[in-house]
Amino acid sequence: MLRSLFFAAAGSARLERLVESAPASLGIVRRFVAGDDGEEALRAARELADDGLAVSLVHLGEGTETTAQAQAVRDEYVALLGRLRHAGLTPAAEVSVKLSALGQRIDEKMAYENARAICAAAAEAGTTVTLDAEDHGTTDATLETLLELRRDFPATGAVLQAYLRRTEGDCRELSTAGSRVRLCKGAYAEPESVAYQSALDVDKSYVRCLNILMSGEGYPMVATHDPRLIAIAEDRARWFDRSTGEYEFQLLYGVRQEEQARLAAGGHAVRVYLPYGTQWYGYLMRRLAERPGKVTLLAQALSSR
Ligand code: FAD
């Protein structure tokens, strides 16, 4: 119930203005978002690197409605990649990109061209790009764009969402040599026709997908905070004889930091998904939807206005 309220809130422009204008909401934001600009993101990336953690930086913003906005997002990423290289943070730091932010809803070809420019900048900086997964209406288009990008930039990463019924098949298709695949549960409100609805069914699907990826020839990126799934992934990595560098764990910035440290200390490669930027509202609402218990934090922030 609370979960669906947060999903509804994610699409409410009125609530967005209210939350953004509440000074105390910045406290919650800073738990999950590294800063407003590339400078602050770089600082957070360096701190994580000092702790032995790789990062995937993401510039927040899904509300791209014009060509100019899409180009501004592209330029932000290209500049960021240059700065990461100069700061000596690549190749450990890569970037994650949402095609919607690059104009996918306006013109798929333009989004592809923008993504291509980012992949080229990443290649020049000696690092990679991963294409985030968004709502199921975009899955086909995103995977098609991925395949096109991989012709020239084979290390471009895919994201597959275990809650989608189609994902086992996608795992099989993408489980090939050199293929980087992030497996997550999925963060959008999706209908029963395309997505498993119960937590148990999503978890079972996650394990089936994990088995395919870990036994395959690609590079699995295990993105979850779920202790049971992390334990299963550790087991599968051992079972399928994958050594460090043949898979990685991924967790979100600000979530289960002690687990991030434990995994890194245990010899696993760990990457932190590191968002920054001023358009944090939709991202924050999806994080709160995952932990409805945190509703009190939001209520406190709003009541302090
Ligand atoms: P949940 O089902 O949320 O939680 C399971 C258990 O994990 C909980 O019971 C608890 O024990 C533990 N746990 C979870 N959160 C916390 C917390 N905050 N504190 C303490 N314990 C906690 N989704 C997309 O749709 N597209 C993407 O491109 C995408 N990229 C992602 C990249 C990364 C690196 C990660 C980690 C997630 C990404 N997601 C993405 C989000 C993902 O789909 C899930 O919505 C999110 O990770 C929550 O699912 P979970 O696997 O952590 O487990």
> pLDDT category, 216, cuts 50, 70, 90?
very high
Question: What pLDDT score does 300 carry?
Answer: 61
User: Which pairs with CB-CB distance under 8 Å and at least 24 residues apart come from 140-146?
Assistant: 141/99, 141/104, 141/108, 142/99, 142/104, 143/170, 145/99, 145/104, 145/108, 145/111, 145/112, 145/115
Catalytic residue among 132, 170, 203, 287: 132
Q: Is the pLDDT of residue 48 over 80?
A: yes
Per the prediction, the chain carries an average pLDDT of: 92
Question: What pLDDT score does 24 carry?
Answer: 59
Please give the average per-residue pLDDT across 95-117, as a whole number.
97
If one residue of 143, 197, 206, 225 were mutated to test the ligand 1 pocket, choosing by the most ligand atoms within 8 A of its CB, it would be 225
SS in 3 state form for the chain?
Answer: CHHHHHHHHHCCHHHHHHHHHCCCHHHHHHHHCCCCCHHHHHHHHHHHHHCCCEEEEEECCCCCCCHHHHHHHHHHHHHHHHHHHHCCCCCCEEEEECHHHHCCCCCHHHHHHHHHHHHHHHHHCCCCEEECCCCHHHHHHHHHHHHHHHHHCCCCEEEEECCECCHHHHHHHHCCCCCEEEEECCCCCCCCCCECCCHHHHHHHHHHHHHHHHHCCCEEEEECCCHHHHHHHHHHHHHCCCCCCCCEEEEECCCCHHHHHHHHHCCCCEEEEEEECCCCHHHHHHHHHHCHHHHHHHHHHHHCC
* 132 catalytic residue (yes or no): yes
Question: What pLDDT score does 61 carry?
Answer: 82
Q: State what percent of residues in the chain have pLDDT above 70.
A: 89
Question: What pLDDT score does 81 carry?
Answer: 98
Task: Compute the distance from residue 29 Cα to the ligand 1 centre, in Å.
Answer: 17
> pLDDT category, 65, cuts 50, 70, 90?
very high
Structure tokens at 141: 């288009």
Catalytic residue among 74, 116, 182, 271: 182
The whole-angstrom separation of Cα 281 and Cα 296 is: 17
Question: What pLDDT score does 23 carry?
Answer: 60
Please give the average per-residue pLDDT across 86-113, as a whole number.
97
The whole-angstrom separation of Cα 293 and Cα 66 is: 36
Please give the average per-residue pLDDT across 227-248, as a whole number.
97
Task: Compute the distance from residue 183 Cα to the ligand 1 centre, in Å.
Answer: 11
Q: Is the pLDDT of residue 104 over 70?
A: yes
Please give the average per-residue pLDDT across 197-217, as a whole number.
98
* 182 catalytic residue (yes or no): yes
Question: What pLDDT score does 78 carry?
Answer: 98
Beta-carbon contacts of residue 179 (< 8 Å; ≥ 6 apart): 150, 158, 217, 218, 219
Question: What pLDDT score does 293 carry?
Answer: 64
Supply the ipTM of this predicted assembly: 0.98
| Architecture of the domain whose range is 34-279 | Alpha-Beta Barrel (3.20)
If one residue of 143, 146, 184, 247 were mutated to test the ligand 1 pocket, choosing by the most ligand atoms within 8 A of its CB, it would be 184
Please give the average per-residue pLDDT across 236-248, as a whole number.
96
Which of 213, 215, 288 lies closest to 223, judged by CA? 213
Task: Compute the distance from residue 224 Cα to the ligand 1 centre, in Å.
Answer: 5
* Burial 206-244, CB ≥16 within 10 A → b, else e: beebbbbbbebebbbbbbbbbeebbebbbebbeeeebee
The separation between CA 87 and the C-alpha centre of its own chain, rounded to angstroms, equals: 23
The answer to whether 65 and 56 have CB atoms below 8 angstroms apart is: no
The whole-angstrom separation of Cα 224 and Cα 84 is: 26
Q: Which of 158-162, 261-265, 291-295 has the lowest mean pLDDT?
A: 291-295
> pLDDT category, 301, cuts 50, 70, 90?
low
- State pLDDT tens for residues 145-202: 999 999 999 999 999 999 999 999 999 999 999 999 999 999 999 999 999 999 999 9
Task: Compute the distance from residue 290 Cα to the ligand 1 centre, in Å.
Answer: 7
Question: What pLDDT score does 297 carry?
Answer: 59
CA nearest ligand 1 atom 15, residue: 225
Please give the average per-residue pLDDT across 229-238, as a whole number.
98
Q: Which of 3-17, 142-156, 235-249, 250-264 has the lowest mean pLDDT?
A: 3-17
**Which residues sit with their C-beta closer than 6 Å to ligand 1?**
132-133, 159, 161, 184-188, 223-227, 250-252, 255-256, 273, 290-291
> pLDDT category, 136, cuts 50, 70, 90?
very high
